[in-house]
Structure 1
Amino acid sequence: MPQYRIVTVDAFTKVAFKGNQAAVVAVPSDSPIDDKTMQAIAAEMNISETAFITPLMLQGPEEFQQSRVFGLRWFTPTCEVKLCGHATLAAAHALKYELGNKREKVYFETASGTLLVYSGLHNSYNMSLPVDPPAPMSVTDDVRTIVACILGEYKSTVQVEISPSLRYMVVYDPEKTGEDIARLEPKLSPELVAAGERENVIGVIATAKSSSHDFCSRFFAPWCGIDEDPVTGSAHTVLGPFWQERLGKKKFEAYQCSKRGGEVYVQTEFNDDGDVDIYGDAVTVVNGTINF
């Protein structure tokens, strides 16, 4: 029976049971796992994302300790996704603290290109993720349905934008506070799902200015089998440029005000590759093996 090392990490938090959970499966280069089994493992874990990391360019008993470059894929309980920030952070943390990789920076080859993660002090990490600036959407009946399901009503003053790559919809009501966003009780109904499918929406971000941070948000993705994601790194590749335009700054302290909650630090001073820097912390919660 095959056995693989698996680690569960809470990302974007300094303490256990906060932030966002991700499972990280270490897949040796000589023992690949097929796509169907990866999806089955992600469904078995039944958390927002399960990440699979494989050493590239090096092989042998020390490949996880010595490699600088890894393949990385992310699966929700129902599908593979193009980009996942918190599971990337979790993968870097698992490599450093559970698999013995002491490199200051590691590279992940992914469906979104090469991602670079720097390891800092005290379980902190800096990820360079591809920026995905949103643009205004045409307000269709489906867009009105989505906004009403998330915010409770549609108003003409609500600003709605969509990111071109990830297809995340940003919903911003200037009259709502961070406390209002935290209290939202969205209706994740069949009507919402159908409207999102027609608009090719993968996730919806509700956001507002915050009294304690620069901005706050929540993220809903029933189209990927995730009613609400606790803390979403990839959403901040969209929120960074969104709030840069409105606040006139390039460094942000953000808070995702889900039930678990988590802090995300964002910097939008883009380099030549157009990356946005996402900073966060992580802690290991579970360490073991998976058998199948």
Structure 2
Amino acid sequence: MPQYQIVTVNAFTKVLFKGNQAAVVAVPSDSPLDDVMMQAIAAEMNISETAFITPLMLQGPDEFQQSRVFGLRWFTPTCEVKLCGHATLAAAHALKYELDNEREKVHFETASGQLLVNSGLNNYYCMTFPVDPPAPMPITDDVKTIVADILGDYKPSIQVEISPSLRYMVVYDPERTGEDIARLEPKLSPEVVAAGVRENIIGVIATAKSTGHDFCSRFFAPWCGINEDPVTGSAHTVLGPFWKERLGKIRFKAHQCSKRGGEMSLQLEFNDDMDIAISGHAVTVVSGTINI
């Protein structure tokens, strides 16, 4: 019976049982898994994301230790996703501490292009992702329904934007505080889910300025099987440019104020295409094998 090494990691935290959980499955180059099996494993793990990593440029018994380029895919319990920050951080952590990878920098080939992760000291990692700047969204009845469910009401002063690639809706009420965002209790009713499908929404980010951080947020994604994601790296590819326009900054301290909670540092980087550096800690929770 084939066995694959599997690790669960808490990302964007220094301590156990905080941040966001991700499972990481090491898939040797000579023992690939098909899409159906990867989705089945993700459903079995039943956490927000399961990542699958495969060495791309080296083969053999030391391929996980010596490779610097890996294929990386992410699955929720119900579907594959285009980009996932916390599971990328978890994959880099699993490579370094559980698979004994020797590289300070690793590249991941993904559905969102090549992603670079630098390993620092004390379980600290810096990921470079493409940004997905949001733009104002037409306010339809469906948008009003979604906003009212997330924030508790809709009013014209609420700013609603959409990111073109990831299709994340950003909802910002200038009158609400970080404490207000932490207290939100969206119902995410079937009517709201249907409205999101009609608007081609993948997730909704509620955000506000925050005491002790530049901003805070929460992320809701029933459209891909996750009512609330505890800490969402990919959401910050949208939030970085969103808050640059409002705070006039390119460096941020961000807090995702879900019940588990998580923190990260952000820096916008200006090159041919603007990127964002997303940095945070990770800690291993479980390491073992899965029998296929």
Query: TM-score under structure 1 normalisation?
Result: 0.99
Offset at residue 273 of structure 1 (A): 3.5
Offset at residue 187 of structure 1 (A): 1.2
Offset at residue 48 of structure 1 (A): 0.4
Corresponding residue for residue 92 of structure 1: 92
* Equivalent runs, 1:209-248 vs 2, <5 Å: 209-248=209-248
Aligned counterparts of 2:25 and 2:263: Cα–Cα separation in 1: 25
Structure 1 residue identity aligned to 2:191: E
Is 1:198 the equivalent of 2:198?
yes
Corresponding residue for residue 83 of structure 1: 83
Structure 1 residue identity aligned to 2:33: I
Q: Deviations over 1:23-64 (max 9, x none)?
A: 000000000001000000000000000000000010000000
Corresponding residue for residue 34 of structure 1: 34
Aligned counterparts of 1:46 and 1:168: Cα–Cα separation in 2: 22
Structure 2 residue identity aligned to 1:65: Q
Q: Deviations over 1:167-221 (max 9, x none)?
A: 0000000000000000000011001100000000000000000011000000000
Corresponding residue SS for 1:234: coil
Corresponding residue SS for 2:228: strand
* Count of equivalent residues: 292
Q: Deviations over 1:227-282 (max 9, x none)?
A: 00000000000000000000000000000000000001111132324211100100
Query: Structure 1: 5+ residue runs without aligned partners?
Result: none
Aligned counterparts of 1:125 and 1:192: Cα–Cα separation in 2: 36
Corresponding residue SS for 1:214: strand
Runs of at least 4 residues of structure 1 off by over 4 A?
none
Aligned counterparts of 1:6 and 1:270: Cα–Cα separation in 2: 36
Is 1:267 the equivalent of 2:267?
yes
Aligned counterparts of 2:187 and 2:208: Cα–Cα separation in 1: 19
Aligned counterparts of 2:191 and 2:271: Cα–Cα separation in 1: 41
Offset at residue 102 of structure 1 (A): 1.9
Aligned counterparts of 2:102 and 2:6: Cα–Cα separation in 1: 19
Aligned counterparts of 2:67 and 2:273: Cα–Cα separation in 1: 24
Structure 1 residue identity aligned to 2:216: C
Corresponding residue for residue 149 of structure 2: 149
* Equivalent runs, 1:165-176 vs 2, <5 Å: 165-176=165-176
